Copies of this chain bind each other. A is one copy, B any other.
């Protein structure tokens, strides 16, 4: 089941440098593990923004929420979720 998710990051200016570096490293590892597992299908940077647009392929709403809630950057993010369905013009649909 597919979802488009837009994540905007706003790190506090006064965040401790070590906390910041550690959080970013954990975020990257977390994202890459989910990409390898096939749940985080795509991730793109939005040009000029500290934001990404991502596509998730998950079992259900519960799993998507679990993934997003546990993002190391979650406390610093604004997140928009759009559930997706197959488009009738999509040539890859069987």
Cα distance A2–B44 when bound, in Å? 9
Closest to A5 in B: B48
In the complex the two chains form, is B43's CB within 8 Å of A87's CB?
yes
- Indicate how many identical chains form the complex: 10
Which B residues are in CB contact (< 8 Å) with A75? 11, 13
A44 in contact with B89 (CB, 8 Å) = no
Residue of A4, A66, A85 contacting most chain B CB atoms (<10 Å)? A85
Task: Name 26 interchain pairs, CB-CB below 8 A, sorted by A.
Answer: A1-B61, A3-B61, A3-B83, A4-B44, A4-B46, A5-B48, A13-B15, A32-B91, A43-B87, A44-B85, A44-B87, A45-B88, A46-B83, A46-B84, A47-B65, A47-B68, A47-B81, A47-B82, A48-B64, A48-B79, A48-B81, A48-B83, A49-B81, A61-B83, A62-B86, A64-B83
